[in-house]
Amino acid sequence: MTSQTPSTITALGGRSRRGSIQAALDQVVSQEAHRNELQLSYVRAGVLLISLALDTAVFFFPQILVGKDQVPPTVLIISLCANVFALGLVAILHRGLSMEALHRWQVVIPIFDNLLLWAFITNIWQVLGLTQPLILTNVVAFCSLVAVSGGLRLSRSAARLTTVLALANFGYAAVLFRLNVALTLFAAITVFGTGYLGIRMAVIVRRQVKNESGRVLMAQFLPKTVVEAAFESPLELLQQSQKTDVTVVVTDLRDFTLFAESLEPQAAFDFLNRYQGLLATLVERHGGWVDKFMGDGMLAVFGAPDPLENHAHSALTAATAMLREVKTISPLAMGVGVHSGPVVTGCLGTTGRLEFTVIGDTVNVAARLEALTKTLGHALLLSEATRQRLGPWPLQSVGPHDIRGRTQGMELFTTL
């Protein structure tokens, strides 16, 4: 056993758990931002490919299409370069980006989009001049699309940037095409309005991502299926309870109260945080979930609410791993009780306070077995019911014993 003095107990476990949760939340934001940016890149590439086809036709058949003898080759060159960049951007985003790289690209990409818009406006002016001012409807439409695209990014600053740049491009078009003041103001208000919608859209999208982050955070406290039900159909979660066969594991540290007297409150908290983090990790690794922590005690369930094949084997494997791993971080011994049987899972409480938990005599017996480990001198005790569900496992009988609260005794076992 690796012992630790109170002064050596640190908050490494707590920091590690907080770090993993923060990483999970950051991953949700990153994935959503990346997904939105990838969808924008597909749309951009599609529009530019269509534009390339039109520019190619105009370049080779200018008299038929625009009534000109020829058009500048820069029209086709700019279109080709834009398509190469857009397709390259699709490839980059498709491979994936880190959160930091994505933040940088979310500044570069709006600038690229607006440079494309500037080139588009310039090409229209060079090819058509002032002969077809109605083409400005397309200019306004493109400026509005660029302005509103910022709303799909998870930042109001990105949405503001696209709006400002789109307005700047429209102002450039207004000067080139010599628009009168009234038409310029009306069209500018249209572009600004779509940009404002983009800013509001960014808020809505960010709120949606926060909801998804909440789902990730709740998964640290409840089984995944319960979290999904809480978000998708909360009323059904409140109304439905489920009876199922499970294995319950109850743990407790020996003499923790006396041990904690020698610690500062923060040191005691840090110790429990690290200890409970270790137990929770082992329970999750073996397919169970932690119903609750009770100070230095823990109640874990294997087989509910999600069915788990051979839950008794998974529970005992997790319990033996706990006893082995806890020795590396705690100077205190631990007792473990394991019992299998039926329980009812569901939400208990009122609208002011709800708790998803398991109820049944199986839970009570597991707690009684853990208490008996103190008097019988075994770190782990399991019931005959669990032994019957185990299959081959080297066990030693410790004989029949009375269980407090039960009229009949029970044969108990421990691991070799």
214 in the same domain as 322: no
65 in the same domain as 213: yes
Question: CA-CA distance, 416 to 379, in Å (whole number)?
Answer: 11
Question: CA-CA distance, 223 to 306, in Å (whole number)?
Answer: 8
23 in the same domain as 136: yes
In this prediction, residue 397 carries a pLDDT of 93
- Where residue 349 falls (left for φ over 0; alpha for ψ -120 to 50; beta otherwise) is left
257 in the same domain as 185: no
In this prediction, residue 215 carries a pLDDT of 62
- Cβ contacts of residue 175 below 8 Å, gap of 6+? none
115 in the same domain as 22: yes
Q: What is the CATH number of the domain that holds 370?
A: 3.30.70.1230
CA 379 to chain centre: 38
Is residue 129 assigned to a domain? Answer: yes
In this prediction, residue 228 carries a pLDDT of 56
Is residue 233 assigned to a domain? Answer: no
Q: Of 183, 218, 253, which closes a domain?
A: 218
214 in the same domain as 279: no
CB atoms within 10 A of CB 235: 8
In this prediction, residue 10 carries a pLDDT of 38
23 in the same domain as 117: yes
In this prediction, residue 130 carries a pLDDT of 59
In this prediction, residue 11 carries a pLDDT of 39
Number of folded domains that form the chain: 2
Is residue 338 assigned to a domain? Answer: yes
Q: How far apart are the first and last CA of the chain?
A: 18
pTM of the model: 0.56
**ω into 305 cis (within 30 of 0):** yes
In this prediction, residue 5 carries a pLDDT of 41
Per-residue pLDDT of the chain (416 residues; tens, 9 = 90+): 334 443 333 334 445 555 555 665 566 667 777 788 888 888 888 888 988 898 888 888 888 877 778 877 887 888 888 889 889 989 988 887 777 777 777 788 888 888 888 888 887 777 766 555 556 777 888 888 888 887 777 677 878 888 899 999 999 988 888 888 888 888 899 889 988 888 887 777 777 766 666 666 556 555 565 655 555 555 555 556 778 899 999 999 998 988 888 888 888 888 998 899 899 889 989 988 888 888 889 999 998 877 888 999 999 999 999 999 999 998 899 999 999 999 988 777 665 666 778 888 999 999 999 999 999 989 999 999 999 999 888 899 999 998 887 778 899 999 97
Is residue 205 assigned to a domain? Answer: yes
SS3 annotation, 68-79: CCCCCCHHHHHH
Using alpha carbons, select from 22, 31, 317 the residue that is nearest to residue 154: 31
**ω into 400 cis (within 30 of 0):** no
249 in the same domain as 145: no
273 in the same domain as 152: no
335 in the same domain as 257: yes
Parent domain of 299: 240-415
Query: What's the pLDDT tens digit per position in 57-103?
Result: 888 888 887 777 887 788 788 888 888 988 998 998 888 777 777 77
Is residue 26 assigned to a domain? Answer: yes
- Cβ contacts of residue 186 below 8 Å, gap of 6+? none
Is residue 403 assigned to a domain? Answer: yes
- Cβ contacts of residue 357 below 8 Å, gap of 6+? 291, 292, 345, 346, 347, 348
Query: What's the pLDDT tens digit per position in 324-354?
Result: 999 999 889 999 999 999 998 877 766 566 6
Tokens of 171: 């102002």
Is residue 193 assigned to a domain? Answer: yes
The answer to whether 363 touches 405, Cβ cutoff 8 Å, is: no
Is residue 7 assigned to a domain? Answer: no
125 in the same domain as 41: yes
273 in the same domain as 189: no
- Tokens 């600004």 — which residue? 192
